[in-house]
Structure 1
Amino acid sequence: MDVVFLIGRILFAYLFLGSAVGHLTKSSDMAGYAGSRGIPAPRAMVLGTGVQLLVGGLMVLLGVWGDLGSLLLALFLVGAAFLMHPFWKESDPMGRQMEMVQFNKDVALAGAALAFFWVFQNGVDLTITDGLFS
């Protein structure tokens, strides 16, 4: 079963590592979008969250303090859901639906990150370190 968990970690981390690359290489474009959503200091926030995604994704992937990495990803996802996808503010039905899908995706992934946190807390093989909070 440890191999199944490792495969799950790889698939889960893939999303965040790809997003990290986008945040760090296309920060100007992403900052424009973040600014349009009312995010203060959008370029700094995009770069900061890019680092957060990179570090959290690598921690989960490699199993280096995977519990901390899971929390970093969960915090990013909750923030992204509420700050970047506030569907309740959309007046256009299509825009509202699109933002609701993104909001729900982020909330569901945050739940998955918390499940990873729990697993790392309870010990698993095929990691480099134990959890930081174990």
Structure 2
Amino acid sequence: MDILVLIGRVLFALPFLAFAANHLTKTQYMAGYAQSKGLPAAKPAILLSGLLLLLGGLSILLGIWADLGALLLVFLVPTALVTHAFWKGDSPDGRQAEMTHFLKDVGPAGAALMLLAFFSFVGDELGLAVTGPLFDID
């Protein structure tokens, strides 16, 4: 079971680490996109979201307070609401594209919430992790 959880942690974390790299290395481009969506203080928001993606992804990948890492990734819900408001789109194609991006944010956020509960429930029994969970959710 431990190896399956480790493989799952790796597969779950990899996209977040790739997204973090984009946020932190293509900040200007991503801030322009965020600003076009009406996000105030777009550049600091992109840097903060990149940091959350990096910390959350690494935490889950390495098993260092993986429950906290999962919680950090829940920021994807407000991000989806602000930057991918598909219901505001002008064209059917634009609405569809934004809905796809919206769902690609909220789906992993839901999985992160489940991981938060799972890591907390399993506690130190997780195995193949550096630390146990930070939170004790019953």
Tell me the TM-score normalised to structure 1 length: 0.96
5+ residue gaps, structure 2, are none
* Partner in structure 2 of residue 105 of structure 1: 104
Number of aligned residues: 133
Task: Give me the whole-angstrom Cα distance separating, in 1, the residues matched to 2:129 and 2:78.
Answer: 28
Seq. identity, %: 52
The match for 1:119 is: 118
Distance in 2 (alpha carbons) for counterparts of 1:26 and 1:104: 23
Match of 1:59 in 2: 59
Shift of 1:108: 1.1
Report the TM-score when normalising by structure 2.
0.93
SS of equivalent to 1:132: coil
1:130 equivalent in alignment to 2:132: yes
Q: Quick one: distance in 2 between partners of 1:104 and 1:46?
A: 19
The amino acid across from 2:50 in the alignment is: G
After TM superposition, list the pairs within 5 Å mapping 1:87-106 onto structure 2.
87-106=86-105
Residue equivalent to 1:16:
16
Q: Which runs of 4+ in 1 moved over 2 A?
A: none
